[in-house]
Amino acid sequence: MKINKIKINGFGKIVDKEINLSDNINIIFGKNEAGKSTILKFINGMFYGASKTKNGKDISDFDKYQPWGAEAFSGKIKYTLDDGNSYEIYREFKKKNPIIFNDKLEDISSEYNINKTKGIDFLLEQTGIDEATFVNTVLTYQKGIKMDANAQNDIIQKISNLVTSGDENVSFNKTLEKICKMQVEQVGTDRTVGRPINIVEDKIACLEREKAKLENYRDLMDNEIEEISKIEKNAELEESRLELLKSEREVLEKNNIKFKEIDANRNIVESYDKKSEELREKIDKKSRKIIEKEKKSFFSYYIFVIIFLALSIISFVMKLNRIISISFLTIFLIILGLTIFNIEKFKKNKKKKLNEIDELEKRIAQELEILLKNKEEQLEIIKNKENQLHIETRENKAEVYEKFSKQLDGDYIMSILDLEYDEVIVAISNKENRVNHLKAELYTKQKDFSSTVEKIDDLSKIQEELEFLNNEKEELIHFNNSFNIAKECMESAYKKVRDAVSPIFTNELCDLICKISNNKYSNIRFSDKEGLTVEIEDGRYMPAERLSIGTIDQMYLSLRLSSLNTISKENMLIILDEAFAYFDNERLKNILKFMNDNYSDKQIIIFTCSNREKEMLNELQISYNLIELES
């Protein structure tokens, strides 16, 4: 793959810039802040887009490289693949997808798959290289090579990562450590404390102990249910009996009302009898009173008459004074006349009184007749009421019997129906006490049962929680197994990559570093225990981090160059940004000569702010294409 032409409409501070590149070595020269890094980002952005995520930086590439003025945020790049097909890419960076043209300038964008996140990933389909691989191999930014003494170990680690895993940013050991740490933090082991698996197991053990205690409540609950059922049945029976008594009381109370009505009627009859007697006595009294009065009147007159008659006789017999005798006789005659007069008068009065008595007797006889009639009516009413009461009583008792016959024994019902009212009242009081006692006993039992049920509910909750925790434990065990499988797969993959990739990389690295260093370093090896080591001139193996910065720089660049042959079927270009800052003139000469001799089929683009590369290429009489950037 070779880039033919770059056209920047607006990207960062670069506006309307066109760059034509040759097939082999290209030098893009410019002083600091001339825009070299911007062009590098533009190339990467044209192929993969400008990222809007910060990825740990203060500002995203999309925001950083938006044009400073009002110019279009776009550009074009033209390149040719090994098969001879040329492509021209136009991209507006504010849009997700670029427009892809073939060598006939036909829009072929629809021929490529669209990634939902990145858009059309055309270069991945054409070369098999994603953005991360492109940045780690093809394109080397300034900070990827340049370093100070403090960054030396980081570069050595990247070399080790690339040798062992094929990716400079992936360390197998660190990744394995992170996985083990995650496994401990997210799962735990038998020896850890306070980790998820330990917490779950502790909870399970605690709940199992609680469960064992609560299991005893099951038998207790069965006994309590039996007792409560027995009490409930007794309470229902006694309540039925109480209702029977109350029903009988209602019947008797209704009867009492009827009895009172009948008694009232009897009282009326008695009042009639009493009144009749009073009327009869009234006639008798009045008759006796007249007779007595007459007897008293006649008796007085008779006495006077007899006295004066006797006196008159005595006066004549004794021949007393004539005047006296005449006087006695006169008085006698007068009294006799008065007596006769009164007798006549009394006879008239008596007749009159007898007439009055007759009238009174007639009137009383009429009243007695009415009273007798009313009495007979009342007696008939009493008889009817008694008959009706008897019928109603029989019907009410039959109704009560029918009502309670399904609940209570027939003999018991009949015994209650035979009770008197006072006996029923006493029985109701006793039965209410019995029912209240049973209800109190039932309440106590139900309260105890509720406590037992709560315990059983707790047991159910514990069982549910145990099931949940056991599932959680199974998930954690499964999760832990996933970690173990992941580690096994990583170790297996690591071994395969190390066995397959490491020899290729180390052999090519040895060949490259040998040529670049004029055979000073010819043997490089890597082991899990010692890491990356280099054989020095006296035959000893020296840890790579103890070498000079320049040597490490050489090794890192050599490794990246050697990896180009394995990353893609496409013969990829090489883009270097200030790659030789720590190379002395001899090393610079060697690397440039090596690249010219061994990568004549690759396009090489070198970004630099120094004249050393130009001067060394001129000295070696190696042709190159120079592009100078204005500062």
Three-class SS of 31-51: CCCCCHHHHHHHHHHHHHCCC
Average pLDDT over residues 196-219: 81
Spatial distance between the Cα atoms of 577 and 38, rounded to a whole number of angstroms: 11
| The predicted structure's pLDDT at residue 58 | 81
Integer angstrom CA distances of residue 530 from 129, 365, 381, 519, 545: 32, 153, 131, 23, 11
**% residues pLDDT > 70 (the chain):** 75
Cβ burial 351-383 (10 Å sphere, 16+ → b, else e):
eebeeebeebbeebeeebeebeeebeebeeebe
Highest mean pLDDT: which range of 370-384, 402-416, 516-530: 402-416
Judged by average pLDDT, the poorest of 260-274, 292-306, 512-526, 532-546 is 292-306
> Which stretches of 2-101 are assigned E, i.e. beta strand?
2-11, 14-20, 25-29, 74-80, 86-92, 99-101
Spatial distance between the Cα atoms of 265 and 368, rounded to a whole number of angstroms: 18
Average pLDDT over residues 144-169: 48
CA nearest neighbour of 164 among 177, 149, 179, 174: 174
Q: Are 398 and 390 in contact (CB under 8 A)?
A: no
| The predicted structure's pLDDT at residue 523 | 76
Spatial distance between the Cα atoms of 226 and 568, rounded to a whole number of angstroms: 83
CA nearest neighbour of 505 among 136, 163, 168: 163
Spatial distance between the Cα atoms of 170 and 174, rounded to a whole number of angstroms: 8
The answer for residues whose C-beta is within 8 angstroms of residue 6's C-beta and 6 or more apart is: 17, 18, 19, 20, 21, 39, 42, 43, 75, 76, 77, 78
**509-554 pLDDT tens trace:** 677 777 766 677 777 776 666 666 777 777 787 777 677 766 776 6
pLDDT-derived band at 88 (thresholds 50, 70, 90) equals very high
* Residue predicted with more confidence, 582 or 62: 62
- Burial of residue 10 (number of CB atoms within 10 Å: 0-12, 13-18, 19+): buried
Instruction: Please state, rounded to an integer, the average pLDDT across all residues of the chain.
Output: 79
**Helix, coil or strand: residue 57:** coil
pLDDT-derived band at 117 (thresholds 50, 70, 90) equals confident
CA nearest neighbour of 404 among 624, 206, 246: 246
Task: Please check the confidence at residue 144 and state whether its pLDDT lies above 50.
Answer: no
Task: Please check the confidence at residue 354 and state whether its pLDDT lies above 90.
Answer: no
Task: Please check the confidence at residue 203 and state whether its pLDDT lies above 70.
Answer: yes
The answer for residues whose C-beta is within 8 angstroms of residue 560's C-beta and 6 or more apart is: 136, 137, 140, 162
The answer for residues whose C-beta is within 8 angstroms of residue 435's C-beta and 6 or more apart is: 235, 238, 239, 242
**Helix, coil or strand: residue 539:** coil
Instruction: Return the HEC string of 424-491.
Output: HHHHHHHHHHHHHHHHHHHHHHHHHHHHHHHHHHHHHHHHHHHHHHHHHHHHHHHHHHHHHHHHHHHH
| The predicted structure's pLDDT at residue 46 | 93
pLDDT-derived band at 501 (thresholds 50, 70, 90) equals low
Spatial distance between the Cα atoms of 7 and 156, rounded to a whole number of angstroms: 37
Task: Please check the confidence at residue 90 and state whether its pLDDT lies above 90.
Answer: yes
Judged by average pLDDT, the poorest of 13-17, 29-33, 149-153, 502-506 is 149-153
Task: Please check the confidence at residue 180 and state whether its pLDDT lies above 90.
Answer: no
CA atoms within 13 A on the CB side of 371: 19
Average pLDDT over residues 26-31: 92
| The predicted structure's pLDDT at residue 301 | 58
CA nearest neighbour of 511 among 548, 478, 555: 555
Task: Please check the confidence at residue 150 and state whether its pLDDT lies above 60.
Answer: no
Determine the CATH number of domain 2-149+550-628: 3.40.50.300
* Residue predicted with more confidence, 149 or 54: 54
**595-620 pLDDT tens trace:** 898 888 999 999 998 999 999 999 99
pLDDT-derived band at 287 (thresholds 50, 70, 90) equals low
> Is the model's pTM score more than 0.95?
no
| The predicted structure's pLDDT at residue 146 | 41
Highest mean pLDDT: which range of 124-133, 378-387, 615-624: 615-624
